[in-house]
């Protein structure tokens, strides 16, 4: 049976965590920025938004423009559409990513729990005084399918569709390539995934570049 395709942010969330213990592979705030970028890409591919046509402006400073506020039927994506619609001004991409990422990690995780893709459990330590919440996949098939699509792209066995090309770009930008369990040098694979992503929509590339810039800002802030 063919699995339904998850939203881009859900696939990125799953690929951003260890399948067995549920620990994130990268800093949660960095992953949240990637998730926000994935939401924007999904609603762009659904024809709901566009980026302003000023090609001279850096990717993170290009503005988001609403094509239509018609919902797509996904709660988080529709929240993003509403946020763009009701904003005082058209938001720059990077500023929107920072704002929308605020609690997006938790919202994405909650949605995956509600869908039965993640399970929530607790672990007690120190004689029951300390409790740790654990979220693990109920079935590894979702992450395996996403990894397989990226593997086929990296090996040249499939032509990339817009969704998978965008996933390749986000995975490479966030430094998750080494967690795909693909054969070969990580640096080479990362460049291969970036090259695949670069063949697709300019606006998707610009959103991914804005994610990269926002993550860079985050890293810089930690050393101030």
30, part of any domain:
yes
Those residues whose C-beta lies under 8 Å from the C-beta of residue 51, and which sit 6 or more positions away, are: 44, 62, 63, 64, 65, 93, 203, 206, 207
2, part of any domain:
no
pLDDT at residue 204 tops 90: yes
pLDDT (tens digit per residue) in 206-222 = 999 999 999 999 877 65
From CA 201, how far away is CA 172, in angstroms rounded?
A: 17
Q: Report how many domains make up the chain.
A: 1
pLDDT (tens digit per residue) in 143-198 = 999 999 999 888 888 888 999 999 999 999 999 999 988 777 888 899 999 999 99
3, part of any domain:
no
Mean pLDDT estimate for the chain: 90
pLDDT (tens digit per residue) in 15-60 = 999 988 999 999 999 999 999 999 999 999 999 999 987 767 777 6
- Find the CATH number of the domain harbouring 169: 1.10.3630.10
Domain hosting residue 111, numbered range: 8-222
From CA 4, how far away is CA 11, in angstroms rounded?
A: 12
Tokens describing residue 130? 């300390």
1, part of any domain:
no
């Amino acid at each position: 049976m063919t699995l339904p395709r998850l939203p881009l942010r859900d696939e990125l969330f799953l690929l951003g965590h260890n399948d067995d213990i549920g620990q994130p592979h990268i800093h949660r705030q960095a992953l949240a920025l990637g998730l926000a970028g994935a939401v924007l890409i999904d609603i762009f591919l659904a024809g709901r938004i566009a980026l302003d046509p000023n090609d001279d402006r850096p990717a993170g400073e290009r503005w988001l423009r609403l094509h239509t506020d018609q919902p797509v039927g996904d709660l988080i994506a529709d929240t993003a559409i509403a946020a763009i619609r009701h904003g005082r001004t058209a938001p720059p991409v990077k500023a929107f990513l920072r704002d929308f990422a605020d609690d997006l990690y938790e919202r994405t995780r909650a949605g995956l729990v509600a869908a039965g893709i993640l399970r929530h459990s607790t672990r007690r330590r120190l004689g029951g005084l300390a409790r740790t919440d654990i979220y693990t996949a109920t079935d590894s098939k979702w992450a395996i399918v996403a990894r397989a699509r990226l593997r086929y792209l990296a090996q040249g066995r499939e032509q990339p569709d817009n969704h998978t090309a965008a996933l390749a770009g986000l995975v490479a930008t966030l430094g998750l390539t080494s967690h795909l369990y693909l054969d070969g040098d990580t640096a080479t694979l990362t460049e291969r995934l970036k090259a695949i992503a670069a063949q697709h929509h300019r606006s998707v590339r610009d959103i991914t570049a804005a994610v990269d810039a926002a993550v860079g800002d985050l890293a810089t802030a930690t050393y101030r």
